[in-house]
Amino acid sequence: MQTKREEINRMVQDVKSLPALPGIVVKLRALAESDAASLQIIARLISSDQILSAKVLKLVNSPFYGFPGRVSTVSNALILLGVNVVKALVLSSSIFDLMEENVVGLWEHSLGAGVAANIITKRLALPDGEEISTAALLHDIGKVIIKIKLKEEAERIRLKVDGGEVSIREAEKEVLDVDHAEIGGWLGKTWCLPEKLIEPIACHHDPVRSVTYADRTAVVHLSDILIKASGFGYSGDDLVPRIQEAAWKKLNLSDHVLREIVDEIEDKLIEVKNFSLEIQSSHEGKV
């Protein structure tokens, strides 16, 4: 008999079983897989879809990436962020779009984590800050899939969390035999995202398991915890998880630097909140 875990793994591996993504996303995936696809071809493809390019540009210009100038074209976004990041943004904006109103909290939590990762990487002068921020933006994407594909189980998970001192992750393991982090990793594989995005997503709650991209994973791990500490958005429970010692050592932050990082994040979150409200009202405007 197939275990619940295997069943979910199979479901996530089957692109067709996932919520229907816009055709353009499918094309984009095919294109990005072939090395031959040039930036221009990808840019032209995204630009051909007005709503999608608007979304990509909105995210690129959000407080989340914080470029000093405004990025006004998709080709510039591709040059600045790289194909991988833009591909992940296109996928995630489509997936986040599928979410119902009541998961605005998760969207805010995700955006907040992206902002936190951006600030931490800058402070630590880590390379590939944009890519790490994108991994942080996507870190809980597994929760979205649970919400839209496993509705009944999601309800049982919610009841467990509401009923006691259980984190959403513990509840997921009880109900599904797998947590959202691992599901997010499977999803990344199905979408052919690069391993450097997949590993931080899959290991964000257990960073010791991350071997190849341990630095990136440590940043995403801490970003998630800081946003939960701050109480910004809602990720499914209100418990701040413990910082794992190995990840903390890896980042090697003094209390003083941590304090500065927290202050910077908290100031930025005001802008993120405004951005999120703006996005929500533009959504309401569309309907």
Partner 1 sequence: MQNIPLILAAPGMTLAKAVMRPDSESRMPICGAGTALTELLIERLDQMGIASVLVEGHPVLIEGEKTPEAEIKALDHRFRQVCEDPLMIRLKEIYKDRLIRLSEEWHANEA
Q: Of 60, 137, 117, which Cα lies nearest the Cα of 264? A: 117
Residue choice 68, 163, 164, 285 for contact with partner 1 (CB under 8 A): 68
Binding mask 14-43 for partner 1 (x = CB under 8 A): ------------------------------
Query: Residue 142 and residue 139: Cα distance in Å, rounded?
Result: 8
Applying CB under 5 A, what is the total number of residues that bind Fe ion? Answer: 3
Residue (92 or 223) nearer to partner 1, CB: 223
Residues between 199 and 238 that touch partner 1 (CB under 8 A): 225, 228-231, 238
Identify the burial level of 274 via C-beta atoms within 10 angstroms of its C-beta, where 0-12 means exposed, 13-18 middle and 19 or more buried. Answer: exposed
Query: Residue 168 and residue 165: Cα distance in Å, rounded?
Result: 10
DSSP letters, 147-210, are HHH-HHHHHHHHHHHHHSS--HHHHHHHHHSS-HHHHHHHHHHHTT--HHHHHHHHTTT-GGG-
Residue choice 165, 212, 284, 285 for contact with partner 1 (CB under 8 A): 165
Secondary element (H or E) of residue 106: helix 104-124
Residue choice 23, 69, 164, 285 for contact with partner 1 (CB under 8 A): 69
At position 144, the amino acid (one-letter code) is V
Residue choice 58, 241, 246, 280 for contact with partner 1 (CB under 8 A): 241
Residue (10 or 259) nearer to partner 1, CB: 259
259 touches partner 1 (CB under 8 A) = yes
280 binds, among partner 1, Fe ion, none (CB under 5 to 8 A by kind): none
The percent helix, strand, coil of the chain (3-state, each to 5) is 75, 0, 25
Residues between 217 and 246 that touch Fe ion (CB under 5 A): 224, 235
Residues between 119 and 148 that touch Fe ion (CB under 5 A): 140
The contact set with partner 1 (CB under 8 A) reads 68-70, 72, 165, 167, 225, 228-231, 238-243, 245, 248, 255, 258-259, 262-263, 266-267, 270, 273-274, 278
The contact set with Fe ion (CB under 5 A) reads 140, 224, 235
